[in-house]
Amino acid sequence: MSADQQTGAPLVEVEGVTLRFKGVTAINQVSFTVGQRELFAVIGPNGAGKTSIFNVLSGVYRPQEGSVRFLGEDVLGQRPHAIAARGMARTFQNIELFENLTVIDNLMLGRAHRVRYGVLSAALWFGRARNSELTDRAAVEDIVDFLELASYRGMPVGLLPYGIQKRVELGRALAMEPKLLLLDEPVAGMNLEETEDMARFILDIRDELEISMIMIEHDMGLVMDLADRIMVVDFGVPITTGVPADVQRNPDVIRAYLGQDHDTGGRRSAGGSPPTTGTSPTTGTSPTTGTEPVGTGATAARTTGETT
């Protein structure tokens, strides 16, 4: 599907990954590939295992089964900083910045894996250490410009407003000069204006910096507008992967988000064809029609759907 999006070899190949915590299967047989310059979105209800997928990719969790290939190399079992050094950067759902440090220092830390000087050179602040610091600073200032953070440069990030902190975290990931960027809910908790800013930055990252991205997001409007392809996960199981328009019409996706309708749900899945506005058997109780995008109110609707 949508092979035109992918040029050249895929950047990431995830193959049959299963992650269990004792009895709980957090991720079950997840497979997907992300191509060059692709914006790949992962969506799913809360607790579906989206962030666990990120944790597997970046090496924080080690899955029981499956393989993860990044840039053609098996990265499963490598330590997180080693995977980061290969070019995988990440932002977190709940901001994970070094809050006592300034914006500049946070961004400089993004370049930690590029630092080639040792403690002795650092102790003298001479030659290699000094040059390296100056080059890194220049690179970091480019990102400050790119993300319009100039006025917050010298401030400890703990003092900054939420939206700016999110942006600093994105900046720290960009400072790593990654080939793949993992964005975990980049606009969670943001107002419309901040969301639009972030959307603009995400598009700029893809189009100007040409960095592939995997994005987890609950803001369906944002996901449907930005993503090239979407994977939907529910209870750790991938339901479908496809372009936004297809995903929106997929009955399994609708069921995952809105719950099973006891009157019509069985018939729909038995039919196998995605319902459209014209042909879908409307019952009046179901809040969905096929073409209606899965909206932000979906989670609330899902709970009511389950209780009926």
Partner 1 sequence: MTATQRPVRDPAAGTPAAAAPSATPAPARARRPRGRPAMYTGYAQNMALLNTGGKKAGVLVLFVVALLLPFLLQDDLLRLLATGAVLAIGAIGLNLVTGYAGQVSLGHAVFLGIGAYTASVVSGDPEDESVYGFGITFLPVWLLAAGLVAALVGAIVSPLATRLRGLYLAIVTLGLVFIGEHVFREWDALTGGVGVGREGPTPELFGFDVGTRSEFFSADQQLYLLMLVMLVLFALVGRNIARSAVGRNFAAVRDRDIAAEVTGVDVRKAKRLAFVISGFYGGCAGALLYSINGYIDPGSFNVLLSVQFIAMILIGGAATISGSIMGAFFVALLPRLTRELPEYLPFLSSSPTETPNVFQFETFLYGILIVLFLILEPRGLFGLWVRARNYWKAWPFSY
Q: List interacting residues with partner 1 (CB under 8 A).
A: 58-60, 79-81, 84-85, 89-90, 92, 96-101, 105, 108-115, 117, 119, 122-125, 129-138, 141-142, 144-145, 172, 176
Q: Please report which helix (H) or strand (E) contains residue 212, including its range.
A: strand 212-216
Instruction: Name the residue nearer to partner 1 (CB basis): 37 or 90.
Output: 90
Instruction: Answer yes or no: are the C-beta atoms of 249 and 291 closer than 8 Å.
Output: yes
Nearest distance from C-beta of residue 112 to partner 1, angstroms: 5
Token pair belonging to 195: 């969301």
Instruction: Name the residue nearer to partner 1 (CB basis): 134 or 159.
Output: 134
Characterize the bridge pairing of strands 212-216 and 39-43: parallel
- Give the Cα-Cα-Cα angle 53, 56, 59 (nearest 5 degrees): 150
| Residue 120 one-letter amino acid | L
- Residues facing 40 on adjacent strands: 214, 229
- Give the Cα-Cα-Cα angle 53, 80, 144 (nearest 5 degrees): 90
Instruction: Name the residue nearer to partner 1 (CB basis): 68 or 298.
Output: 68
Nearest distance from C-beta of residue 107 to partner 1, angstroms: 10
Instruction: Name the residue nearer to partner 1 (CB basis): 85 or 237.
Output: 85
Q: Please report which helix (H) or strand (E) contains residue 182, including its range.
A: strand 180-184
Instruction: Answer yes or no: are the C-beta atoms of 19 and 64 closer than 8 Å.
Output: yes
Radius of gyration for the chain, computed over Cα atoms and rounded to the nearest angstrom? 21
Nearest distance from C-beta of residue 65 to partner 1, angstroms: 23
Beta strands in the chain (DSSP E): 12-21, 24-34, 39-43, 65-70, 73-74, 88-90, 180-184, 212-216, 229-234, 237-242
Instruction: Name the residue nearer to partner 1 (CB basis): 11 or 140.
Output: 140
Instruction: Name the residue nearer to partner 1 (CB basis): 136 or 234.
Output: 136
Q: Rounded CA gap, 239 and 255, in Å? A: 10
Nearest distance from C-beta of residue 138 to partner 1, angstroms: 3
- Give the Cα-Cα-Cα angle 169, 25, 295 (nearest 5 degrees): 55
Nearest distance from C-beta of residue 160 to partner 1, angstroms: 15
Nearest distance from C-beta of residue 181 to partner 1, angstroms: 12
Characterize the bridge pairing of strands 180-184 and 212-216: parallel
- Using alpha carbons, select from 244, 264, 269 the residue that is nearest to residue 305: 264
Nearest distance from C-beta of residue 178 to partner 1, angstroms: 10
Instruction: Answer yes or no: are the C-beta atoms of 13 and 57 closer than 8 Å.
Output: no
Instruction: Name the residue nearer to partner 1 (CB basis): 101 or 199.
Output: 101
Instruction: Name the residue nearer to partner 1 (CB basis): 65 or 126.
Output: 126
| Residue 78 one-letter amino acid | Q
Nearest distance from C-beta of residue 59 to partner 1, angstroms: 8
